[in-house]
Amino acid sequence: MRIVVVALGKIGLPLAVQFADSGHDVIGVDVNQGTVDAVNAGVEPFPGEAHLQEKLTELIPAGRLRATTDYADAVPGADAVVLVAPVFVDEQTGEPDFRYMDAATNSLAAHLTPGTLVSYETTLPVGTTRTRFTPMLEAGSGLTQGADFHVVYSPERVLTGRVFADLRKYPKLIGALSEEGNRRAREFYEAVLQFDERPDLPRPNGVWDLGTTEASEMAKLAETTYRDVNIGLANQFGLFAAAHGIDVYKVIEACNSQPYSHIHRPGIAVGGHCIPVYPRLYLSTDPDADIVRTARELNASMPERLVARAETTLGSLAGLTAVVLGAAYRGGVKETAFSGVFPTVEALKTRGAEVRVHDPLYTDDELRALGFEPYELGEPADIAVLQTDHADYRTLAPSQIPGVKLLVDGRAATDAGLWAGTPRIVVGTAGQV
C-alpha cells in the first residue's frame, strides 16, 4: 500500500516507521522542515524512542519511507492517510483547541482522491470525527464519505519510549462511519500491525471493531480518564491518611491484594500530553461528569497542597533557596508537557522562595530555555521538592544538597534510610519521617 502519515511527532513518526517496516511505501507529512530534513537523512529528530533510529537507518536508504512538507506530493493516490496532528486544550476555558488538526484536515481535503481510507488517531472529543472533520473533508475535496472515501477513528494507545512494543501489545480499536469503512479499516490495520498473543484478553488480540467512530473515540477518552480519576482517588486517600497518621502505601498494597481493587499511587502531579488533557476533552462533551471534574481539580491542586505543607513545617519559605528535583513530567522521559514542575515552582515563588530546578536529563541551557534557573547537586539549598521519579533520585542523600532542612518527596521515591535525621515529608504519609 501507499500510506501517508500526517504529523511526524513522537507518535506519528514511529507509526510511519511501523507501516514501512511492515512492507509498505510510506510518506510522512510535517509542517516542520527541520523534522522532514532529519527524517530524510535517516536521523531521529527526537531522542528516547526505542528502536526508532535503527529502523530509520534501514528504511530510509531502502526507499520505503520519506518525508515532505507538501500535501500535494504525498496525498493524491494514497490508499490510506493516518492523521496524528495534535489537539490541545485551552488552559483558561478547558475547551478543545483544534487549530492544528483543522489545518491538517483542510490540507488533506484539498488533495484527497477517491478510494482513500482516512484514519484519525489523535484523541478527540466524542462525535468530532463525524460532525467536525468528515464535513471538512467532504467540503474541501468535493468527495462523499462512504462513496468516494472512508473515514475511521482509531485511537493511538501507546506510550512514548515504547511505541513499537505497545503497538504489538494492545488491541487496535477501530470505529468507522459505515460498515464498508470498518471493513477497510480492519484490512488496513491488519496489514500494518502485528500483535502479541494475549491470553488474558476476552478475545484474541488484534483489530477490535467497536462499530462507530463515537464508540472508538469514547474508548480512548474513557481509558485515560479512568487513570486520572483513579489517581485523584489515590490522592484523596493520601491526603486523609497523612492527616490521620496512616501510611497510605500500606493501605493501597493491602487493597490491591485482591482482584477487585486497583488503586493507583498518589503523587505531586499528573503530567504529560494525555492524562491531564483527555479528561477535559471528555468534559467538553459531558459537562455533567462531576466525578471527572473533581478528580482533575484535585490532581491539579497537589503541588500547591504539598508546598503549603512544607511552609507549615518550616514556618516560612521566604528567602529560602528551594530546589525542585525533576523538570520532566515522569521519570526517565525527557518531556515537560503539563509537568508538575511549573505549578510547583510557582507555588514556591509565591511564598518568597528562590527556586532552582535540577533534572539529570536536561542541560543547564535547556532548563534556562524552560524558564528555570538550573541547580547542580552539591550546591547548598534549604528545601528540596522531588517532583519527578527519576531513577537517579532513588539514591539521593542529604549530603548531595548541603544545608537542606526539609525534603518534600512528591513521589515516595527516596530512601528513608538515607534521609534519617533530616525532616522528610512524603506524599500520602503523616508528618515528618
Beta bridge partners of 26: 3, 65
Are residues 183 and 133 part of one domain? yes
What pLDDT shows up at residue 378? 98
The confidence score (pLDDT) of residue 71 equals 98
**Confidence at residue 48, expressed as pLDDT on a 0 to 100 scale:** 86
Are residues 168 and 291 part of one domain?
no
Of 95, 75, 112, 86, nearest in space to 9 by CA: 86
* Residue 149 DSSP class: B
The CA angle 202-207-208, to the nearest 5 degrees, is: 55
Please tell me the predicted confidence (pLDDT) of residue 374. 98
The terminus-to-terminus CA distance of the chain in angstroms comes to 60
Kind plus residue range of the DSSP H or E element containing 305: helix 290-314
Same domain membership, residue 165 and residue 219: no
pLDDT per position as a tens digit, 320-359: 999 999 999 999 989 999 999 999 999 999 999 999 999 9
State the residue for C-alpha cell 464519505. 145
Cell 485482591, located at residue: 258
Confidence of residue 431 (pLDDT cuts 50, 70, 90): low
Please list, residue by residue across 36-64, b when 16 or more beta carbons sit within 10 angstroms of its beta carbon and e when fewer do. Answer: bebbeeeebbeeebeebeebbeebbeeeb
Residue type at 297 in one-letter notation: E
Does the reported pTM lie above 0.75?
yes
Instruction: Please name the residue ranges forming H helices in 269-363.
Output: 278-283, 290-314, 341-350
List 274, 334, 349, 405, catalytic entry: 274
Q: Is 172 a catalytic residue?
A: no
Among the options 172, 220, 250, 405, which is catalytic? 220
Q: Which residues of 315-326 are buried (b: 16+ CB within 10 A; e: fewer)?
A: eebeebbbbbbb
Query: Which domain covers residue 295, as residue numbers?
Result: 212-433
Q: List, for residues 310-330, the tens digit of each pLDDT value.
A: 999 999 999 999 999 999 999
* 349 tagged catalytic: no
pLDDT at 433 over 60: no
16-25, 84-93, 148-157, 216-225: least confidently modelled range: 84-93
| pLDDT class of 273 with cuts at 50, 70, 90 | confident
SS3 330: coil
Question: Residue 150: is its pLDDT beyond 60?
Answer: yes
* 91 pLDDT tier (thresholds 50, 70, 90): confident
Q: What per-residue confidence (pLDDT) applies to 432? A: 52
Indicate if 300 and 389 belong to the same structural domain.
yes
Residue finishing a domain among 188, 210, 232 = 210
Nearest residue to 429 via CA among 279, 263, 240, 257:
240
Same domain for 230 and 155: no
Q: Do residue 258 and residue 206 come from a single domain? A: no
pLDDT computed for residue 414 by the predictor: 96
Residue 235 has pLDDT above 80, yes or no: yes
Could you tell me if 302 and 237 are in contact, meaning their C-beta atoms sit under 8 angstroms apart?
no
